[in-house]
Amino acid sequence: MPRGGMPPRGLTVSWRRRISRSTTLQVTTLPAHLAVIMDGNGRWATSRGLSRSDGHRAGTKAARKVVSECRKLGIRHLTLYTFSKENWARPKEEVSFLFDLFRRFLTNELDQLLEQDIRLKILGEVDALPLATRKVLKHVMASTEHCAGMTLNLAVNYSSRDEIVRAARKLAEAGTPPSEITEDVFAAQLYTAGQPDPDLIIRTSGEQRLSNYLLFQAAYAEFYFTDTFWPDFDEAQLHKALEDFAGRKRRFGKTGEQDT
């Protein structure tokens, strides 16, 4: 993927979908790569008098809906921020529950991934995860390696700053001369190597920050923030974000007149 010039534009697709009997949404431009910060599970649960675990369970249902809908729409790359390195600081019981839920979710979803021709990739340090989780992840990745309909990236045990430092170390260890380190060469050492940068990054729950997520890759990404908690982010909410994205004019450093 070329860097230093114009990043790849989103996939242009003519699409019309009925959301309800009274509303028809038309989106003419879809992102080639959509990234999501799934935020608000705990607050969603608290607002309903439920446990945080209930919120995380509800969050997996929202993830399932968004993955399936993106596949239907033709979005080629979807990245979900699943567990950051900073999340290890949460209570041990919650971390243990999250990995158990994650493991069960992937085990149950394998058939659907294969049926929908979705390839699973992990962004992050897999080897530092619990053994049972690693086994399931590696099994699902190997089972879906041949799938070509969509790439689903799960950022697990992920830190963007760590990813950048890791890439720099790999280049240094390989003895790469400084004069040969270009943006393309550097990007080839990132977890997302071979994939386009995200065109659109969505964050739910009202927070408006990246939280150490895809910092290098987000250079020209559009951002969409919503107050909706992640468990309530459904197909209609996704359509709304995509419609907003389609209405934006992306200039990549040029003037509006140059793009006309």
Domain boundaries, the chain: 17-226
CATH, domain range 17-226: 3.40.1180.10
User: Using CA atoms, how far apart are residues 1 and 224, in angstroms rounded to an integer?
Assistant: 24
Q: Of 193, 198, 202, 188, whose CA–CA distance to 240 is shortest?
A: 202
How confident is residue 258, by pLDDT bands cut at 50, 70 and 90?
Answer: low
What percent of the chain lies above the pLDDT cut of 90? 83
- pLDDT of 249 reads 83
pLDDT at 173 over 90: yes
User: Using CA atoms, how far apart are residues 73 and 64, in angstroms rounded to an integer?
Assistant: 14
7 vs 153, higher pLDDT:
153
User: Using CA atoms, how far apart are residues 1 and 8, in angstroms rounded to an integer?
Assistant: 8
Angle in degrees, CA 238, 241, 242, rounded to 5: 85
Over residues 40-98, the pLDDT tens digits come to 999 999 999 999 999 999 999 999 999 999 999 999 999 999 999 999 999 999 999 99
Q: What are the C-alpha distances in Å from 170 to residues 128, 161, 250?
A: 18, 14, 33
Question: What pTM, to 2 d.p., does this model score?
Answer: 0.87
pLDDT at 233 over 50: yes
How confident is residue 251, by pLDDT bands cut at 50, 70 and 90?
Answer: low
What percent of the chain lies above the pLDDT cut of 70? 85
Supply 232's token pair. Answer: 């309530």
- pLDDT of 259 reads 58
Evaluate whether 176 touches 228 at the Cβ level (below 8 Å).
Answer: no
- pLDDT of 256 reads 55
Total length of the chain: 260
- Helix (H) or strand (E) run with residue 14 in it: strand 12-18
- pLDDT of 257 reads 60
Known catalytic residues are 39, 87
Close Cβ partners of 74 (under 8 Å, ≥ 6 residues apart): 11, 13, 15, 30
Over residues 6-31, the pLDDT tens digits come to 344 444 444 444 433 333 444 558 99
**Tally of CB atoms within 10 A around 181:** 15
- pLDDT of 255 reads 56
